[in-house]
Homo-oligomer: A and B are copies of this chain.
Amino acid sequence: MDCQYFIGVDGGGTRCRARLTRADGTVLAECEAGSANIYSNFDKALETVSRLISGTYAQAGLALESSAQTSVVLGLAGANVESYRLRAEKMLTGFASLQVLSDAEIACIGAHLGDAGAVLIAGTGSQGVRWDGAEFRQVGGWGFDLADQGSGATLGRRAVRCALQAHENLLPPSAFTHEVMDYFSHSPEQMLSWVSQATPADWGQFSPTSFHHAELGDALATRLVRQTAREIDQILDYLTAQGENGATLMGGLAKPIEPWLDEQSRAALIAAKGDALDGALLLARTPVLSTT
């Protein structure tokens, strides 16, 4: 493959970034747009990705025909669902090469700059990926209803449910449960109308509240944060069980949860050497890596 151009796309659940480089790594253009989740909205995600790619060519002053000399790697939210990943790969044509991976996979390659290693992304949702140098192994990433243990949305959901139980005197009320109920004006009916429209991100807004009160020593908040930490321990344990290589913890929960993790988890954590976009471009430039 004799490519002149390389495009990496990091398409997460909240924003999508694209970067166009030369073979030597020189950055020619960078563009950003909204979310690109091929599972929750396939057509919109592909449209976003196409627009971003055209945007990078335009910014670099290149004709769209340059695509024939471009190697592209997309890391898209929702691409852990294999049938959607394959469908996306078939829809995007005209490139010298194009590969669709999940956003977690390119983050894993970026974090370890292509070396074997693992990442666990714990934000609104949770997803783990391990790269052994030849193959990816994913765990989680199945969303709020089925999985997302160790995530901010799951922690937030437990906080809201427990706050309602405290409101009904099934659990001892505390400053923590009071703060959560404050959001709903202490009305279960308001909660009920909120819940019918609540997205995982909405539930997740009660995750910082939980950390805050756990740090202040609130018994219930501490229990919920510990439960989240055990779930992350469990995934980290799985991700690091079969290799000497460490894991990188990413996402909004990475920093607040770290002190709550067990010793073994903390010992396994290593800092990211690069980000997801670095990972996508590394894969685009290194065909040997991209034969998953």
Contact = CB atoms under 8 A, between A and B. Distances in A.
A219 interface: no
Contact of A189 (B81, B149, B192): B81
A256 interface: no
Contacts of A149: 161, 165
Nearest to A171: B234
Interface string A127-162: 000000000000110110111010000000100110
A192 B81 contact: yes
Contact of A170 (B83, B169, B238): B238
A82 B189 contact: yes
A147 B168 CA distance: 11
Contacts of A45: none
Nearest 7 Cβ contacts at the A-B interface: A145-B195, A139-B168, A146-B195, A170-B238, A142-B188, A170-B234, A146-B164
A195 B83 CA distance: 17
A235 interface: yes
A194 to B, nearest CB: 9
A170 B81 contact: no
Contacts of A170: 139, 234-235, 238
A161 B142 CA distance: 10
A238 B170 CA distance: 6
A29 interface: no
B82 A192 contact: no
5 contacts: A139-B169, A142-B164, A143-B192, A146-B161, A168-B238
Contacts of A139: 168-170
Copy number in this complex? 2
Interface residues of A, number: 29
Nearest to A82: B189
A191 interface: yes
Contacts of A81: 189, 192
A186 to B, nearest CB: 14
Interface string A231-268: 00011001000000000000000000000000000000
Interface in A158-209: 160-161, 164-165, 168-170, 188-189, 191-192, 195, 198
A211 B289 CA distance: 47
A180 to B, nearest CB: 12
Contacts of A160: 146
A140 B191 CA distance: 13
A59 B146 CA distance: 48
Interface in A68-99: 81-83
A145 B165 CA distance: 13
A213 B165 CA distance: 29
A164 B281 CA distance: 33
A169 B128 CA distance: 13
